[in-house]
Chains A and B, each alone.
Chain A
């Protein structure tokens, strides 16, 4: 047909006017055959006559082989065609936009209109007017019925239960075509209607459509897998755009330019410039590069002062360790590993191994193999050099002998007990406490076998055994040399016992003193009960019983021998009681408990009273009735305490195996903390005259130390351990339970859990 371009433009303008009806006419597709190099693809020439519905296809067909367009096109023209081809597409897009998504009845594509791609095009668009003109190809569909899809492309099952599908512009329901056929009707129709096989139902509208012959043909072709277009021949001979053969004639017949025969002036100029530069020596030929490095005397002018500042911080890398005998290929036999050692070596982590190889012996040099880890070792060295953080470390280069403090030799500090002299046997259970008479002749010991035994010190002879009917927790001999009286702690009472040993005058006088007591007229309320001994008890030696309300822990005498203090194992304010023997009355000095009291002591000279709780030692002034000092022991649990006879120094033993020496004039903290025992300390003691103190511990040893206190206040006490005394056997994990010095001699007694008392001289 050869639609003139003017026509095309016209139709283009029609596209742009809304409300116009476009139509597609099949005759226009006759055109392509005739089309020779035209600037517009004939397939795209959808120039449509007015008033005829048009089925635009969104995918333009011309992308098919140009051969289909029926002619060889030179490239440039072809490109032009493609350029043109884009325009209608855009137009179609515009069309779809105009359509606003309102799609008309789906019908199978016209084989002329779009050959291979089945397009669902809108049958037409009523614009605002709601007028529809059906496609002439779908003429079999009855026109009067308003068959439209106004709901869009939605799942149709939403309308399954309704009699209508969507609404028209006026809001009226668009009804589905009535389908009230039953099976019989269907069968009859099938039998009678010759077109039944080619009738399909349009799901979008619910209408029946009878397929045309062309459509049926297309369906059949597609089912067979053939091309949709009948006229398309897939086996057409391929024709190259450009021939591969070299042609003898030029493409253009244009004669060569003159300039191609004349040498270029510009080039000449350039060359002459280069020649000149070469002549002048400005341009030199490229030198072959030397890849061998050149060396010279780098340190010709070495200046030791030129060392950079950072070299002061420089830490030179340590050199590799030099090999020892074990690395030899033929080491002495002792350096070879035995089987177990080899096994151990293999099981160790590589980083933990002392040697990073297994020593081996080869009988001659010829037999030595290559070392497999040689490269790895060099590599590790490299890593060490650049990755390993370096630090200057001061190596401790101390002679261990220098660390040992220089102390005076024990030999120069004599006398002190050195050897075990006597063993006092007799107790059958552990001996908890010891006490010695002020004269130093008699020794009293209390034990868990419910007896108190009196020994003669010099002969280790048991003079007397006093059954007391309870575990003896503490025992204390009256320090007054004119009185012969022993205080014994048994369960809830303190027994004042006259052992009737030694001078008869002496112990007779003691009895007399005790008997001469006259009770005061008015009874005073006392925390304890003072009971005189019965005759039976009297015969045993017991003179007085001080009955407490709770179990007792300790009893200790004042230096003068009239007062004594007791400690009750209780957490109340009644823990410490002070008793006066001559007046037989007792008092509770503290209103409030300050913790669990471990032991108490009277100051030997001044009216001070020491109370040791778990961690502190409190010093009270008895006259002023106030707290004077509080000593921090730095220990976990104080077990025992002793006071230097001078009264200015205190030692505390603790269960965490420490011994704290306090200098009361110096500080409330320990002057020195000795950790020489391996286990808990049970008791500590000072000697009355000699500068000695001793400590007994659960490890079964008694350590005797020299503790010199100088009169000069500026000179600190000198503490030197002088002897470790062993002898007690460990029983029930207990060793030494009590230590005690002889009042005049440099002897020390110790009582142990093995039921013995030992004397070291």
Chain B
């Protein structure tokens, strides 16, 4: 055979993995630097399939990295930068210690810095890859942009995050790619469809943060460092895909008089103003090539092979629905009251083609006043509105969110100020068969299908449904009952027989004709067959089968629990209503 015989842990999977400490030693980095490198390069531990083999027979808990990953890190230019930075810090400390301020200044000027461009390109070889991984980047940038400008992290980082986040929002507005929004107790979720990829992010509610002590901000800052780079490049590409200027310019920009300031200050103010204007989200962006007209290219349709006419039709319909959804608020003019969160609402309304304005004193970029008679909807979040203007709806903000999710402008009656709001449902839930569907969702689905159920009919439906449910329950009960009855009868018969053997007073009573439900008999037979077949299963398969069935049963149990809870709640409300009615009558 030739060659040396290899010992037990010198071949196979043991050679493919490396523990964290060994990796660190191989790279000659401190733990903090190693972590930073892993974050930036997107290296993560792998769980080996046979942990004991990889761990050389020991079962101690260890994290393993792929040896290839670590070798790949060896050639990373950033590692050298880390070392340079370490030296820089040492020199600076020395200079400060000796009070050599000049040296310290010089050192600070030459502070080693690194760029992450090549890492972004390496981690995301194609643009679509980058889009797929954008969720965390966006959420993090939105979080950092809400941090206070003091402490915790560098002001530049916060400003950069804010800038990138606002730029992304403007892109979503310009491309009208927002699809779903959700007001949760954690924050506001948005989902946009960017170049066919769903991108979801969450923004916290606009409150000051209660900074926790058990969070390592350095780790978050390292992530943010990478995410800002990624988001910057993604924004650039996205803006150029829409023929927009990057960095963005706002249309109809009137430069305010800035005489008397030095040039640099002017520039800074301009930049700040631009950011403010951008974040106001009220103005459209300047395009590189002015659009000749609203030239919407008719997409030629190429029938895909194997696609039937029906599928084609369905696709076309979907496309139409999407177009309609994009123009949901077109032609509507909104006015946001000052108690309403301005940024999310302005963003959403603008995303669907609506016009939006707010009080001038609230924020820059207000386009019209409250008194404007052309306003169709005014978003209000207070229990009562004094001085209502005729000709506009006063609505609570949930209407905007629910309408976007329903893909149609919902009836406004449920959303008037001071009214008890209907539940706000998550648009991210797609109910499969067997899942619990809240009744509100059912109503909504019906509405989307084009049915226009009046309120009364709705109630009827509900009642009918309930009745049906009741019937089902009763049937089940009946089944059980009948089974029990049968058993009882059999027992009785047996007893009678035995008794008849002993004592002979035989009685003949007229028998009852029992109707046999053929379907049920068949069902029972099938069930029994199944039970018998399960007996013949192999041990392994039986285990798996039982596990699956356990999961299914648990799901059903949960669904039933939710349904029961809902029913109890509805019943309680109904009774209250009745009581109220009675009280009114009396």
Contact = CB atoms under 8 A, between A and B. Distances in A.
Interaction A to B = yes
Contacts of B552: 400
A309 B71 CA distance: 12
A388 B126 contact: no
B35 A386 contact: yes
Nearest to B379: A365
Instruction: Determine which residue in B115, B184, B339, B545 has the highest number of CB atoms from chain A within 10 A of its CB, and name it.
Output: B184
B193 interface: no
Nearest to B271: A292
Contact of A286 (B64, B109, B425): B109
Contacts of A374: 143, 186-187, 204, 209
Interface string B195-224: 000001000110111111011100110010
A152 to B, nearest CB: 52
A357 B63 contact: no
A386 B182 contact: no
A587 interface: no
A301 to B, nearest CB: 10
B308 to A, nearest CB: 26
Contacts of B237: 297-299
A411 B526 CA distance: 11
A377 B136 CA distance: 12
A721 interface: yes
Instruction: Determine which residue in A299, A359, A379, A723 has the highest number of CB atoms from chain B within 10 A of its CB, and name it.
Output: A299
Q: Interface of chain A, helix or strand or loop or mixed?
A: loop
Given A323-B426, A375-B215, A391-B47, A333 B396 contact: no
A27 interface: no
A371 B187 contact: yes
Given A298-B121, A370-B204, A396 B544 contact: yes
A261 B232 CA distance: 61
A289 interface: yes
A323 B236 contact: no
B219 A382 contact: yes
B529 A423 contact: no
B537 A403 contact: yes
A519 interface: no
B236 A295 contact: yes
B341 interface: yes
B529 A388 contact: no
B79 interface: no
B570 to A, nearest CB: 9
A306 B156 CA distance: 34
B544 A403 contact: yes
A280 B440 CA distance: 79
Interface stretch (B4-12, B37-45, B248-256, B450-458): B37-45
Given A293-B229, A405-B537, A721 B426 contact: no
Interface residues of A, number: 93
Contact of A331 (B121, B382, B423, B525): B423
A379 to B, nearest CB: 4
Contacts of A675: 535, 539
Interface string A706-719: 00000000000001
A389 B44 contact: yes
A330 B421 contact: yes
B182 A328 contact: yes
Nearest to A306: B125
A357 B66 contact: no
Interface of B: 35, 38-39, 43-49, 63-64, 66, 68-69, 72, 109, 115, 117, 120-122, 124-127, 130, 132-133, 135-136, 139-140, 143, 156, 160, 182-187, 189, 200, 204-205, 207-212, 214-216, 219-220, 223, 228-229, 232-233, 235-237, 240, 246, 339-341, 381-382, 396-398, 420-421, 423-426, 428-429, 438-440, 494, 497-498, 501, 525, 528-537, 539, 541, 544-545, 548-549, 552, 562-563, 565-566, 569
16 contacts: A297-B240, A298-B237, A308-B125, A325-B426, A370-B209, A382-B140, A387-B44, A388-B45, A389-B64, A391-B46, A391-B49, A400-B545, A404-B530, A407-B533, A720-B532, A723-B532
Given A303-B125, A375-B211, 17 more contacts: A297-B236, A322-B200, A325-B425, A328-B183, A328-B425, A333-B423, A374-B209, A379-B215, A382-B39, A386-B38, A386-B39, A389-B45, A396-B548, A404-B530, A407-B536, A423-B498, A676-B536
